[in-house]
Amino acid sequence: MLRKKLQVVAIFATILTVGYVFVHSKFQNEVESFDLAFGAIAQSSDDNSEDPFSTVAVNEMALGSEDAPLTVIEYASFTCPHCASFHQEAYKKLKKTYIDTGKIKFVFREVYFDKYGVWASLVARCAGPEKFFGMTDLLLSSQRTWARAGSDLASANELRKLALLAGMEEDNVERCLSDGNKIKALVAWYRENATKDKIQSTPSFIIDGELYKNMDYEKFVEILDLKLGS
Helical spans, DSSP H, in the chain: 2-12, 27-39, 41-46, 81-88, 90-94, 115-126, 132-141, 143-147, 152-165, 170-177, 180-196, 217-228
Do residues 133 and 61 touch, judged by C-beta distance below 8 A? yes
Q: Any idea what DSSP says for residue 52?
A: T
The band of 137, judged by pLDDT with boundaries at 50, 70 and 90, is very high
pLDDT tens readout for residues 10-29: 444 444 333 333 333 333 44
At 51 the pLDDT is 46
Q: What residues make up the domain containing 124?
A: 2-228
Number of domains in the chain: 1
At 105 the pLDDT is 98
Residues 6+ apart with CB under 8 A from 75: 109, 110, 111, 193, 194, 197, 199, 202, 203, 204, 205, 206
Mean pLDDT of 132-137: 97
Among 188, 191, 171, residue whose Cα is nearest residue 126: 171
pLDDT tens readout for residues 41-92: 333 444 444 444 445 789 999 999 999 999 999 999 999 999 999 999 999 9
pLDDT tens readout for residues 199-208: 999 999 999 9
At 84 the pLDDT is 98
Q: How many CB atoms lie within 10 A of CB 163?
A: 25
The CATH code of the domain that includes 202 is 3.40.30.10
Instruction: In whole angstroms, give the CA distance from residue 76 to residue 73.
Output: 10
Residue 5 has pLDDT above 50, yes or no: no
Per DSSP, the three-state class of 105 is strand
At 109 the pLDDT is 98
Instruction: In whole angstroms, give the CA distance from residue 8 to residue 174.
Output: 8
Residue 104 has pLDDT above 60, yes or no: yes
At 174 the pLDDT is 93
Residue 215 has pLDDT above 90, yes or no: yes
The band of 31, judged by pLDDT with boundaries at 50, 70 and 90, is very low
Comparison of pLDDT for 11 and 149, the residue scoring more: 149
Residue 6 has pLDDT above 50, yes or no: no
- Which pTM was predicted? 0.79
Do residues 214 and 111 touch, judged by C-beta distance below 8 A? no
pLDDT tens readout for residues 108-134: 999 999 999 999 999 999 999 999 999
Per DSSP, the three-state class of 40 is coil
Mean pLDDT of the chain: 82
